[in-house]
Amino acid sequence: MNRTAVTAILKNLDQLMPELESLYKDVHAHPELSMQETRTAGLAADWLRKAGYEVTTGVGKTGVVGLLHNGDGPTIMLRADMDALPIEEATKLPYASTVTQMDNQGKSVPVGHMCGHDMHVTWLVGAAVLFAQARDVWKGTLMIVFQPGEETAEGARAMIEDRLLQRFPKPVVVLGQHVMLGAAGDIAGSAGPITSAADSLQIRLFGRGAHGSMPQAAIDPVVMAASTVLRLQTIVAREVAATEAAVITVGVLQAGTKENVIPDEAIIKLNVRTFDEGVRTRVLAAIERIVNAEAEASGAPRKPEITPLDQYPLNVNDVDASNCVAEAFRAYFSPARVHHTGPSPASEDFGCFATVWQVPSVFWFVGGTDPAAYAKAKAEGTLNQMPVNHSPLFAPVLHPTLETGVETLVVAALAWLTT
């Protein structure tokens, strides 16, 4: 790490911080659902233009790409996601969201930045501005990417399908980060798998409806669905080795409209997380086997329909690139702030960019929890009671979370940029 270059780029961070804090609160208070991030994208594009970037908007519908050419040197891609969730915020912050928006089903839903993508946008804006203000200490090209639709696994793919590879220079590395539960100011990561593969499925089970008083005339899809849900849990318990990992979560079970009517179908929606392609293949095959077997055992009039909903790839950090980033972090931050972590069961479409470009990528985590509160919960064994991403109470503390995320992007990028 070139400490002189890092210091020169970050010297204006304190001066920029009030504007970044205002930007964060603004984006937090005005969240937008996946693939609808027009306001957020507009703010990001405006910041990049003012900093002197060549800006392209509407990439993959609402994505933004900014290029800053600064002499001979490598191209580094820095990425942040922009979308929020259909969750009603319960933080009671003065800048809490009260927004509602129409989802892709035409339903009005509350919207909140309960996964921290507002923080990601602010971090990337801060790093982009600081690099632009200190062009005399680095050489190369920065490619700043604000990605839509991470929460629905649409955004990275949409940008790629919108000819991202043909329209923009190929980077030598793709870098990204995520705010998570953890002491604010701390950083964590590891080489190898860092976030899980995820597959979401809808299962439609078919029965035969009847009056609730005459079950003998029915083929009950409620019982069929209940048996299926229970049997699905045996996949992890009995078909996945103790040395492997998988999670199967049934998040939706829907059937019927009235207590004395046996319906004619039931819906199950489930989510699968895995860290190995072989395990993923076996788990998905087991789901199909169990669903079909339970339907047949119930005498279902037709086979179930199994429909994929969305899919996230396994996100694997390149070993050499991860070690390079970790070394740079330890050199800039105190080693006590840089932690090794195992793979997270959360999922990301971040890895899609590096996969299609066939270049290394590194993804890491930045803590966003009040350090004193985190230390107290850890000592008391109550970390599992603290609000995490996707909780209506998830709210990263502003400082030092804002500063740390900007610093990590600058330090990591400079591990490659010519100085």
pLDDT at residue 2, as a whole number: 83
Domain end marker among 295, 311, 327? 311
The verdict on residue 223 lying in a domain is yes
Q: How many domains does the chain have?
A: 2
User: Considering only CA atoms, which of 138, 186, 207, 81 is closest in space to residue 405?
Assistant: 186
Indicate left, alpha or beta for 182 from its phi (over 0: left) and psi (-120 to 50: alpha).
left
pLDDT at residue 268, as a whole number: 98
The verdict on residue 419 lying in a domain is no
Instruction: Take residue 337 and report the two structure tokens written for it.
Output: 């702030």
Could you tell me if 186 and 67 lie in one domain? yes
Could you tell me if 129 and 179 lie in one domain? yes
Domain end marker among 311, 339, 364? 311
Could you tell me if 117 and 80 lie in one domain? yes
Q: What CATH number does residue 25 fall under?
A: 3.40.630.10
| 348 labeled part of a ligand binding site | no
Could you tell me if 226 and 336 lie in one domain? no
Decide: 345 and 198 in contact? Cβ < 8 Å: no
Backbone angles phi and psi of 289, in degrees to 5: -60, -45
Could you tell me if 43 and 63 lie in one domain? yes
Could you tell me if 396 and 264 lie in one domain? no
Taking only the tens of pLDDT, the chain with its 419 residues reads: 788 899 999 999 999 999 999 999 999 999 999 999 999 999 999 999 999 999 999 999 999 999 999 999 999 999 999 999 999 999 999 999 999 999 988 999 999 999 999 999 999 999 999 999 999 999 999 999 999 999 999 999 999 999 999 999 999 999 999 999 999 999 999 999 999 999 999 999 999 999 999 999 999 999 999 999 999 999 999 999 999 999 999 999 999 999 999 999 999 999 999 999 999 999 999 999 999 999 999 999 999 999 999 999 999 999 999 999 999 999 999 899 999 998 898 999 999 999 999 999 999 999 999 999 999 999 999 999 999 999 999 999 999 999 999 999 999 999 999 77
Could you tell me if 343 and 241 lie in one domain? no
Could you tell me if 160 and 217 lie in one domain? no
Instruction: Take residue 178 and report the two structure tokens written for it.
Output: 């995520």
Could you tell me if 131 and 185 lie in one domain? yes
| 120 labeled part of a ligand binding site | no
pLDDT at residue 3, as a whole number: 86
Whole-Å CA distances, 340 to 169, 188, 409 = 32, 5, 18
pTM for the whole thing?
0.92
pLDDT at residue 302, as a whole number: 97
Could you tell me if 56 and 69 lie in one domain? yes
| 390 labeled part of a ligand binding site | yes
Could you tell me if 28 and 55 lie in one domain? yes
Domain end marker among 261, 288, 311? 311
Q: What CATH number does residue 235 fall under?
A: 3.30.70.360
Whole-Å CA distances, 204 to 248, 264, 400 = 17, 11, 47
| 32 labeled part of a ligand binding site | no
Note down the domain range covering 240. Answer: 197-311
User: Given CA atoms 18, 48, 151, 112 in this order, what sign does their dihedral have?
Assistant: positive
pLDDT at residue 161, as a whole number: 97
| 324 labeled part of a ligand binding site | no
Could you tell me if 74 and 190 lie in one domain? yes
